[in-house]
Chain A
Amino acid sequence: MLSYLLRMAVKSLKRNPILSALIVCGIGLGIAVSTTFITTYHLMSSNPIPHKSDSLYYVEMDNWDPARGWNDDKPGAVPNQITYRDMIEIMKSNIPTHQGGSFKGSLYVYPPAQVARPFKVVARMCFSDFFALFDPPFQYGSIWPRSADKGPEQVIVLDYETNQKLFGGQDSVGKTVRVEDRDFVVAGVLKPWQPQPKYYDPHNGAFEKAEQIYLPFEFLRPWELHSAGNTSGWKNFGENFKEYLASEAVWIQMWVQLDSQKQKEAYRDFLNAYVNGQKKLGRMLRPTNNKLLPVMEWLKEEQVVPEEATSLMLISLLFLVVCALNLIGILLGKFLARAPEIGVRRALGASKRAIFLQHIFECEVVGILGGALGVLLSLLGLRAINTLFEINFRFHLDVKMVAAAAGLALVAGLIAGLYPAWRICSIQPAVYLKEQ
């Protein structure tokens, strides 16, 4: 029966190829536009680390001005980064499975003079645990040992591109790279890695490129390195670097991995105890408001998805509705024009149900063709959007989005088909059998 229905549907589409092309293009455009904008929204709001997004927590504490909160417009809000002094203290806890603060720095890399002039890179100053927390894939070597954090030892992890640039993509583990005024031994090289969104540091560009080199955090002291990202303060930053590190300036993103509820509760207690201790020292005088935000909640709080992406998605769905309305109108005309044939089929024993199914089936064939066209067109649409932005975020279709497009196409075909199919199956066959 299915093959018969398919054959009938194809015959019906072939009967008026131009009209059929219009119908398929119409629904295809609707699917393309909505898939394109759903994909952009989906990718911007997607979970960047699904396998452990529930055990990674972003740490926030309120060290702000007792007289005036972090955000005048949001009473409960606390600073979205932490101070150096607090990071050092809370990292003394042995509760989290992995933990560590990190920040973005801007540093010079000095290749051998014959290779290139010194060039600026964006570095992530971090601890060994950074790699354990966020799982970037390694091409060569591995993370540096925890012991290297202390010294700090002159070890470095390169991203894929920097290794291409400096070593032509070869296994550079054990070789040295000069950064600022000292030589670092390569511990590992990453495969191409671009978390989207860049969830471990979204407020310095949620869709910015990942860092080019990774260095032990404590090199900030010899270099007196300031963050290349946002630094906020409510008091003086101090006269010199030492005072700066001891100040209330916030510029570090602190993450912990807590694998169990118990661990989480223990860590929460630890943070509360720490903040209460600080209050005794005359710091953190605002009401205690420590936050442990799992990845997705954190991204939501940071409003990573631009509002325009949401608006465009809504508009694209309305666009699909218009396409479906269009389809209803055209199918209605097409089907009713076929009433004499359906009259004959009814006379020859086709039940209403059989006629209804035949037409719904035809609509779904249109939906599937339109969906396929829509997916192809949305590839073009996404490519066009990629050329509009110079940022490193690249939109692409994934399996989920193709499935969503297929689902939308089937639902659009069904919804658009219901009314016309019902109308054609409930015609009075007798009217169409007699010669007009």
Chain B
Amino acid sequence: MLEMKKLSKIYRTDTIETHALSEFDLEVKRGEFLAIMGPSGCGKTTFLNVTGLLDTFESGTYLLDGKDVSNLNDAEMSRIRNDKIGFIFQSFNLIPDLNVFDNVDVPLRYGRRSAQERKKAIEQVLETVGLRSRIKHYPSQLSGGQQQRVAIARALVNSPRLILADEPTGNLDSQMAGEIMDLLGQINQQGTTVIMVTHDPDLSARAARTVHLRDGRIVGLQPETRAPLHEQVNAPSNSEATC
């Protein structure tokens, strides 16, 4: 699904140069559920931004779905984000002025689908996350867990190959967090690759594989220990990843 080799990302200001990612190597197989862990400032977010084509990188190669994405222009990158990638954020990032339907509609608007197709897709994906009945509600009328489920619906509505989740449960209590993780597990089981950034070991335990980042490098890559998750019947309850 995703292959990064010697990827480097440097942030420059007038005075300092920060290596957010340096000579970063990572391969993620189709259908994997990968957790990225590390302390604050280790490059997790940069990794996610580069992976999600929200940010560019200085050197190295990055193959996404077999395609080299290092030299794409803005329109091409936008297209890939729209088609292949779904984002889930810690703070949900729903657009407050838009109701649930319109929020989920946003990515569809940047694709080319008819009104009817869009409506069908939105209703279907809201069914999946169990919020069909809240279609006319505004984000402020929903609980945190519901908001995150709308955000997941929005990430899923274009049937992406890859879901990038950034601390998806960071703003939720543990019960809601559990529900959201179950949902991510289901999605993964249906064949979508999930990469989740977190600093919570309990969550990373839900992933099939965990990678630890420090100072923009992978510090202890656990060799692949098991087959992609979707071939398993149950979501894993423990992780073999070590530091």
Task: Show the binding face of A for B, using Cβ within 8 Å.
Answer: 1, 4, 11-12, 15, 340-341, 343-354, 428-430, 433-435
Contact = CB atoms under 8 A, between A and B. Distances in A.
B81 A349 contact: yes
A354 B45 CA distance: 25
A8 to B, nearest CB: 9
B82 A348 contact: yes
Contacts of A435: 89-91, 170-171
A186 to B, nearest CB: 70
Nearest to A432: B93
A430 B45 contact: yes
A346 B106 CA distance: 10
B55 A348 contact: no
A347 B75 CA distance: 12
A344 B79 contact: no
B59 interface: no
A428 B90 contact: no
A350 B110 contact: yes
Contacts of B166: 433-434
A347 B93 CA distance: 11
Contacts of B55: 428, 430
B74 A352 contact: yes
Contacts of B82: 348-350
Nearest to A344: B93
Interface in B97-143: 97-98, 106-107, 109-111
A346 B110 CA distance: 10
Given A340-B93, A348-B154, A350-B110, A430 B54 contact: yes
A435 B81 CA distance: 20
A4 B81 CA distance: 21
B54 A429 contact: yes
B148 to A, nearest CB: 13
Nearest to B97: A11
A352 B75 CA distance: 7
A349 B80 CA distance: 7
B111 A349 contact: yes
B74 A349 contact: no
A349 B78 contact: yes
30 contacts: A1-B109, A341-B95, A345-B106, A346-B78, A347-B52, A347-B54, A347-B81, A348-B81, A348-B107, A348-B110, A349-B78, A349-B81, A349-B107, A349-B158, A350-B82, A350-B109, A350-B110, A351-B75, A351-B78, A351-B110, A352-B78, A353-B74, A353-B75, A429-B54, A430-B49, A430-B54, A433-B87, A433-B166, A434-B166, A435-B171
B83 interface: yes
Contacts of A351: 74-75, 78-79, 110
Listed residue (B93, B158, B170) with the most chain A CB atoms within 10 angstroms of its CB = B93
Residue of B45, B81, B90 with most chain A CB atoms under a 10 A cut-off: B81
Contacts of A429: 54
Contacts of B109: 1, 4, 350
**Residue in B49, B78, B107, B111 with the greatest tally of chain A CB atoms within 10 Å:** B78
Nearest to A350: B110
Contacts of B97: 11-12, 15
Contact of B110 (A341, A343, A354, A434): A354
Given A428-B55, A433-B54, A350 B93 contact: no
B93 A433 contact: yes
A343 B166 CA distance: 15
A155 B154 CA distance: 87
A345 to B, nearest CB: 6
Given A344-B94, A430-B45, A435-B89, 12 more contacts: A346-B78, A347-B81, A348-B154, A349-B78, A349-B81, A349-B158, A350-B82, A351-B74, A351-B78, A352-B74, A353-B75, A433-B89
A15 B111 CA distance: 26
A162 B218 CA distance: 99
A349 B79 contact: yes
A11 B54 contact: no
Contacts of A345: 95, 106, 110
Contacts of B107: 348-349
Contacts of B171: 435
A51 B39 CA distance: 82
A4 B45 CA distance: 32
A428 B52 CA distance: 13
Interface in B168-184: 170-171
Contacts of B158: 349
Contacts of B52: 347
Nearest to A429: B54
Nearest to B45: A434
A347 B160 CA distance: 13
Contacts of B75: 351-353
A15 B97 CA distance: 7
Contacts of A354: 78, 110
Contacts of B54: 346-347, 428-430, 433
Nearest to A347: B87
Contacts of A353: 74-75
